[in-house]
A and B are shown apart, each in its own frame.
Chain A
Amino acid sequence: MRFTIFQDSRQGDRQGNEDRIGYSYSRDVLLMTVCDGMGGHQDGEVAAEIAVTEITRRFQQEARQVLKRPFDFLVSAIASAHRAIVSHAVEHNLLECPRTTCVACIVQGGRAYWAHAGDSRLYVFRRGQLVAVTQDHSRIQQMIDAGEITPEAAARHPDRNKIFSCLGGVVPPQISIGRELPLEAADTILLSTDGFWAQIPPNILANMLRKQALVDLMPGLLSEAHRRAKGESDNISVVAMTWENQDDARIADTSNLDDEQFATSANTTQQLDVDTPVEDVTDADIERAIAEIQDAIRKVPR
């Protein structure tokens, strides 16, 4: 796979950063994750941290070859992150379960697959157009969908941060999955928290991405998002990837990676690029175990 990837997470004007983001890729599969720990809830950053860690861990365990069912993987990994957050709350006797949004995307075989819960977004840009976007699990989005409010008014609505699906909390998350999207060269997939997307409209992004390379463009756009919030900026986080011409030898190719090796980067406090903890049982292991047992059966006198 040839792609360029950018990620950054900034504190904005908040006391701390409750966003957690990360990506991890092997020779054939890429995972990108963005989680926005919920402010106002105790330990929001803990929830986001657990979510990114757990989803990445599952990825490194199951994506050693290509994922057979990427959507099943996404839903199951997000659900297990939810359970991990709830377990954490129970273990630590937290009065309120920490919560987080989550958007995650898998790229393999030249196709993109994504799933989300909450209001962290995924955009896909192609030739200056927004061609795919996640629908926020928010009250305001429901109002827009019902025609009760215009998108412009929504941006100033007091309830614009209220979401009805998230990880953690008493209700299991509602997880929406995107469609399987075949990628074309120069497509860009961008995942972000509301600290970014609330300030930078997708049409601006679409336009600028046509003129500038991702890694050159994004740092300035994050600063712009911060500036536009006029001293009240939320945490600002983006993970974005441009799918390159797969024959362009100037772009690094993941096929340089060894078998079952993962390159990982995240702003979690925990190191994620450790070797996969659980060893998979291969056909060869099974045959060996059976041979050993049969050998023992023969040797021990009966």
Chain B
Amino acid sequence: MPQQANQPLPAGYVLNGYRIEKPLSSGGFSIVYLARDEKDVPYAIKEYLPSTMPLRNDGVEVKITDDANLSLFRHGLKCFFEEGRALAMISHPNVVRVENFFRANETCYMVMQYVRGRTLQFHIQRNRHEFTEAFIRRTFTHLMNGLREVHARKLLHLDIKPANIFVSMEGRPVLLDFGAARITLSEEMMKLKPMYTAGFAAPEHYRFKPEELGPWSDIYSVGATIYTCIAGTPPQAGDVREEKDRMIPLRTLATQHYSDDLYDIVDSCLALDHLKRPQTAFELQKRLMEEPPEEKASFLETLNRPLSKLFQR
């Protein structure tokens, strides 16, 4: 991911009634801030700011110096609007909620609910030993509720990965970052698009053929995400696998016991032939909800553990 070349808004700056506290993260397209409204309610505010274009060296205004950049900047803005539209249409506990959207400082801002918790990425690095089969099945079953809602709106997420899945303090997974939702394939967009994340993108995603993309492409990314939860590292990149598949079998990387059924589910999600994957989020969800017979005891045992213990730090 390209480094953000632009200055973040300063702490204490009041943006349309929201007081900026600090930047939370920055990516190829944007900076996300923690901010609070007058009632002290926290929000995550995403500022559209393509990292590859130098737009703000000082102050708060975005300044665009030439026509080519203005054109590029505004075409990227279209993607930002797509994300806003996508999220505004969805109200679901497993999809991040957008609360407001406005224009200021010559760019646009999306105000989202602030979820207390950590990304799945963080937990993979710190708490992977806690990822029992039951935890994985439960988390991803819930996540599939959110993804079903996304797909029902005829949207594709197209960038599902551990860093884009938030796990709230109560253990609720929340799908974040719809910046890649609905790709546009013009050459101008290619210049702006932060590259899909190697390892998580389906092979058809690399080919940039929109007609090949579908819910099954998001399913591949979900499979890669579960793979990473178990292995600690993502699978070999999809485009490389298509040339010569050297993906390390998941069971050889596992550090604890998982059922054959779970390995089979991950394998099927990661099938290079998209027709061999579960075709819908619902289909994957059903498979995740089927308890593997031999695992019954430990599965129930984990379920009975207080949730807070799963995330002790």
Residues of chain B within 8 A (CB-CB) of A289 are 78, 81, 84-85
B165 interface hit (Cβ, 8 Å): no
B77 interface hit (Cβ, 8 Å): yes
Contact with A along B80-122 (1 / 0, CB 8 A): 0100110011110000011111110000100000000000000
A72 interface hit (Cβ, 8 Å): yes
Residues of chain A within 8 A (CB-CB) of B66 are 68-69, 72-73, 76
Contact with B along A276-297 (1 / 0, CB 8 A): 0110110000110110111011
Contact in complex: B85, A68 (CB < 8 Å): no
Residues of chain B within 8 A (CB-CB) of A290 are 81, 101-103, 108
Minimum Cβ distance to chain A for residue B15 (Å): 15
B186 interface hit (Cβ, 8 Å): yes
Residues of chain B within 8 A (CB-CB) of A69 are 65-67
Q: Select A280's contact among B71, B84, B85, beta carbons within 8 Å.
A: B71
The residues in B between 230 and 287 inclusive whose CB is less than 8 angstroms from any CB of A are none
Residues of chain B within 8 A (CB-CB) of A286 are 74, 77, 103, 108
Question: Main SS of the interface on chain A?
Answer: helix
B75 interface hit (Cβ, 8 Å): yes
A67 interface hit (Cβ, 8 Å): yes
Contact in complex: A281, B67 (CB < 8 Å): no
Residue of A nearest to B81 (CB): A289
Q: In whole angstroms, how far apart are the Cα atoms of A297 and B102 in the complex?
A: 12
Residue of A nearest to B77 (CB): A281
The residues in B between 118 and 144 inclusive whose CB is less than 8 angstroms from any CB of A are none
Residues of chain B within 8 A (CB-CB) of A58 are 68
Residues of chain A within 8 A (CB-CB) of B75 are 278, 281
For chain B, the count of residues having a C-beta within 8 Å of the partner chain is 26
B188 interface hit (Cβ, 8 Å): yes
**Are A62 and B101 also in contact (CB < 8 A) when A293-B81, A300-B90 are?**
no
Q: In whole angstroms, how far apart are the Cα atoms of A119 and B222 in the complex?
A: 56
Q: How many A-B residue pairs have CB under 8 A?
A: 72
Residues of chain B within 8 A (CB-CB) of A277 are 186
Contact in complex: A278, B101 (CB < 8 Å): no
Q: In whole angstroms, how far apart are the Cα atoms of A286 and B75 in the complex?
A: 11
Q: For chain A, which range describes its interface: under 10, 10 to 19, 20 to 34, or 35 or more residues?
A: 20 to 34
Q: In whole angstroms, how far apart are the Cα atoms of A287 and B101 in the complex?
A: 11
A61 interface hit (Cβ, 8 Å): yes
Residue of A nearest to B109 (CB): A290
Contact in complex: A281, B68 (CB < 8 Å): no
Minimum Cβ distance to chain A for residue B157 (Å): 18
A201 interface hit (Cβ, 8 Å): no
Contact in complex: A62, B68 (CB < 8 Å): yes
A40 interface hit (Cβ, 8 Å): no
Residues of chain B within 8 A (CB-CB) of A278 are 71, 75, 186, 188
Known: A62-B71, A68-B66. 17 other contacts (CB 8 A): A67-B67, A68-B67, A69-B65, A69-B67, A73-B67, A76-B68, A286-B77, A290-B103, A292-B85, A293-B84, A293-B85, A294-B100, A294-B101, A294-B102, A296-B89, A297-B98, A297-B101
Residues of chain B whose beta carbon lies under 8 Å from any beta carbon of chain A: 65-68, 71, 74-75, 77-78, 81, 84-85, 88-91, 97-103, 108, 186, 188
Residues of chain A whose beta carbon lies under 8 Å from any beta carbon of chain B: 58, 61-63, 67-69, 72-73, 76, 277-278, 280-281, 286-287, 289-290, 292-294, 296-297, 300-302
Return 28 A-B CB contacts under 8 Å, by A number. A58-B68, A61-B71, A63-B67, A68-B66, A69-B65, A69-B67, A72-B66, A72-B67, A73-B67, A73-B68, A277-B186, A278-B188, A280-B71, A286-B74, A286-B77, A289-B78, A289-B81, A290-B103, A292-B85, A293-B81, A293-B88, A293-B101, A294-B100, A294-B102, A297-B98, A297-B100, A300-B91, A301-B91
